[in-house]
Structure 1
């Protein structure tokens, strides 16, 4: 009788794979609100830039952003944080901010974000 070698994962292999998969899932689940907020800010910046192109002043643009951010539950940035450039044909509004995502105990993920009204 000829012995065939068995194939498959060892218990240690299953545990390591499970830990890696759990870590990826935790990072993914905790990143979803940050991504949703980034997309909301980007959308609001586009709307507010169009208002600025139609003649709204800088103060009105900042107030409009603040009103819209309250509706969309954006808490990372405010109207005072906006950088508004009206020098070109189209108004460009952007903002830079950093979000820290707590993962486990004292381990955090820091993400630098830079949404803009200018399409890329």
Structure 2
């Protein structure tokens, strides 16, 4: 009767450990930018809902700035494109986020969103 050993070698453990650390560090750098994007999306929708269809561009920007201040966003209302389509206010935004990974390597993510359905 032959018994086969089961388990993980030390080198295999090190390789998997390094892989998990790299994935965790990558996640810790990328996840906050996704959260920021969803906060911006939520705040633009809330600002449009708050001001109503007869509001001016300045009213929408002020409402967004109040929501952005509460959520502590670095995103400014000046980066919003505000227009009216079919009597409804539509707010669009697009921006680029550069995440430094290591040395001279960065990850660039292009975010864009709109309140239009």
The Cα RMSD (Å) is 2.0
Question: Greater relative contact order (Cα 8 A, min sep 6): structure 1 or 2?
Answer: 1
Q: Which has the higher strand share?
A: 2
Deviation, 1:45, is 0.4
1:111 to 83, 102, 109: 109
Aligned to 1:41: 40
The verdict on how the C-alpha distance between 1:44 and 1:96 changes in structure 2, with shifts beyond 3 A counting, is same
Structure 1: runs of 5+ lacking an equivalent = none
Aligned residues: 117
Partner of 2:110, secondary structure, is strand
Deviation, 1:66, is 2.2
Aligned to 1:64: 63
Partner of 2:18, secondary structure, is helix
Q: Give the TM-score of the pair, scaled to structure 1.
A: 0.80
Aligned to 1:101: 99
